[in-house]
Amino acid sequence: MVVGVGIFCNFVGVMENIVSKVKIIARENTFPVLLALCAVHGFNDLLQSVVSAVYPMLKDDLSLTFSQIGLITLVYQIAASVFQPVVGYLFDKQPFVGSLPMGMIFTTIGIVLFAYSMNITTVIVSVFLVGMGSSTLHPEASRITSLASHGRRGLAQSIFQVGGNLGTSVGPLLVALIVAPHGRHYIIWFLLVSAMAFYSMRRICRWYSSYLADDSNRKNIVARHKKMPLSMGRTVFVIGVIMVLIFSKYIYMASLTNYYTFYLIEQFGVSIKMSQIYLFVFLVATVAGTLVGGPIGDRYGRKPVIWASILGTAPFSLALPHCGLAMTVVLSFCAGFMLSSAFPAILLYSQELLPNKLGLVSGLFFGFAFGVAGIAAAILGDYIDMYGIKAVYDACAYMPLLGIVVCLIPNLKKLPGEETI
């Protein structure tokens, strides 16, 4: 009881601290830019989530196998991962004001093509374009978020990440309400989301253009040099450990994001519409986890949050394949909440390791996360065809146990000039 009260008091303290810092940062002239970045991230990830949310309809429309669903996901995730570090590196060297609209153009074309695809080849081309849009937007938007943070990178990154998680969670719900009752061609209505994304980018582009017009800012982006907290050898080792953590996190996330609806339909006989609503519940949990995990990491350190987030998911993941429908939904919410709190902490921890390569680091870790998810989706699709979806969920439940490797990474001190919350 005493422990529970202590945890609650700590949580209240964190939330009060967050509110006070939000009030401070809201007075900055870049706060509307951060909100616009949050919105753009949300709109982009909403459009990205439409792809996997429509999988059950796509499978029926084109008579696809789970292996083909996995192949589609693999192509999408490769397009959304391989190019991210490249984009981050290039725009670190040569900033480009139109980078965000360029990414959204790719996504918009891909969504239109996806709505009217009549064979698997066209589907693959469409998801490749959608993936390219994500590959362009994520590292650039994350880097601009850091530039507009006024040193409060933890809070700024949380605002940015929450936008993406909100978009990811709302996408399947809109698919259930708009597309599922009428047919896949109704995806074309999501062009309204694309239009809102372009509109939100206007404020970001104006600010970023003004920012780059100052020669000192441009030179600071391209040629800044901050001291690395660890030696190069130690940094490479720690990044390798972080890759293992992302590997464990995103294999389990891939099993839920891509095949959770199929699992619910097969295991409990729910309708496609209800399966999308249950997927929405899981994705809402990822929003809440991101909102809480980032600020707690700023207060108590990135390492404890990463440790608790990934390893703490294991009890829920291990129990999920052995429960009824109601408890499955509850456990999926708990697993999503715990696991999603890790990524903002992992990203900021990695940027602290390489403080002079914000775009490259963002692209590398967003890209690696997407790549692992894509490869996992393809492999899981094959395994589901061979062994059944229940057996795959039983196996994937053990992945969060890899969180034990967090013990191999050091705590990092706060970088000079940064504020905590």
Q: Which value, in Å, is the radius of gyration of the alpha carbons in the chain?
A: 21
Residues belonging to the chain: 421
Reported as a pLDDT band with limits 50, 70 and 90, residue 356 is low
Farthest CA pair distance, the chain: 61
For residues 133-157, average pLDDT: 79
Phi-psi region of 269 (alpha: psi -120 to 50; beta: other; left: phi over 0): left
* Domains of the chain with CATH codes: 14-408 (1.20.1250.20)
Res. 23: pLDDT tops 90: no
Reported as a pLDDT band with limits 50, 70 and 90, residue 413 is low
Are 244 and 405 in contact by the 8 Å Cβ rule? The answer is yes
pLDDT 10s digits, 283-307: 788 878 877 776 677 677 778 888 8
pLDDT 10s digits, 70-86: 788 888 877 877 777 77
Query: Percentage of the chain with pLDDT > 70?
Result: 82
Query: Percentage of the chain with pLDDT > 90?
Result: 20
Q: Report the distance separating Cα 111 and Cα 49, nearest Å.
A: 11
What's the confidence (pLDDT) of residue 187? Answer: 93
Are 179 and 57 in contact by the 8 Å Cβ rule? The answer is yes
How far CA 96 is from CA of 101, 137, 143, 160, 203, in Å, comes to 11, 12, 12, 20, 15
Q: Is 119 exposed, middle or buried (0-12, 13-18, 19+ CB in 10 A)?
A: exposed
Token representation of residue 269: 């006989």
Res. 273: pLDDT tops 90: no
Q: Report the distance separating Cα 5 and Cα 22, nearest Å.
A: 26
Q: Which of 2-6, 25-29, 68-72 has the lowest mean pLDDT?
A: 2-6
Token representation of residue 374: 């894509």
What's the confidence (pLDDT) of residue 324? Answer: 92
What's the confidence (pLDDT) of residue 2? Answer: 44
Res. 368: pLDDT tops 60: yes
Q: Strand locations in 56-137, DSSP E?
A: none
Token representation of residue 348: 């900021």
What's the confidence (pLDDT) of residue 221? Answer: 53
Res. 374: pLDDT tops 70: no
Query: In which residue are the tokens 């902490």 written?
Result: 345
Collapsed DSSP state (helix, strand, coil) of residue 121 = helix
Phi-psi region of 246 (alpha: psi -120 to 50; beta: other; left: phi over 0): alpha
For residues 124-131, average pLDDT: 93
What DSSP assignment string belongs to 304-357?
Answer: HHHHHHHHTTHHHHHHGGGS-HHHHHHHHHHHHHHHHTHHHHHHHHHHHHSTT-
How far CA 374 is from CA of 32, 76, 359, in Å, comes to 34, 7, 22
pLDDT 10s digits, 177-198: 888 888 889 999 999 999 999 9
